[in-house]
Amino acid sequence: MSVEKRIKELGIKLPEAPGYKGNYIGAKWAGNIAFSCGQGPFETTKRGMVGKDLTIEEAYKGARETAMNCLAQLKAQLGSLDKVKQVLQVVGFVNSAEGFMDQPKVLNGFTDLLIEIWGDYAGRPARAALPVHHPGWICVEAWLVVELHPE
């Protein structure tokens, strides 16, 4: 089944690729490896630190929305997510209150979506869930690295 059909089957509606807030491109590839730019969640996710301003559940939703923005950037540059063979890596930064240690639970919101779409093996990435501490910032920023099908 195509990835685009799978996304529709799951009832997932990807957003339009968010506009750029700096001097970069939404996604770029070399050979059969593509990288999304760093993305955050939609405007509907409140800003702040997880463990203080947001619960794990709220930040999980923000991480899922961040994944959707990364996929939207890839789709905008590649034309179709059917070109993606598998997910290779996710690097995510979780805006964490002092003492908050559940960054992996938050970033599961990102990777759970990928597994829903591509399945357990092709959708499960190597991953880093890193804490940052920046009051007033978005709860999650992450990027995605994928392998493309050979042309």
Rg of the chain (C-alpha set):
15
Q: To the nearest whole percent, how much of the chain has pLDDT over 70?
A: 100
pLDDT per position as a tens digit, 71-118: 999 999 999 999 999 999 999 999 999 999 999 999 999 999 999 999
Going from the C-alpha of 150 to that of each of 33, 77, 82, 83, 85, the distances in angstroms are 10, 16, 12, 8, 9
Domains by residue range for the chain, with CATH:
3-8+33-148 (3.30.1330.40)
Distance (Å, whole) CA 48 – CA 52? 8
For the segment 63-75, the average pLDDT, to the nearest whole number, is 97
Q: Check: CB of residue 74 under 8 Å from CB of residue 144.
A: yes
Total residues belonging to the chain: 151
pLDDT per position as a tens digit, 130-150: 999 999 999 999 999 999 999
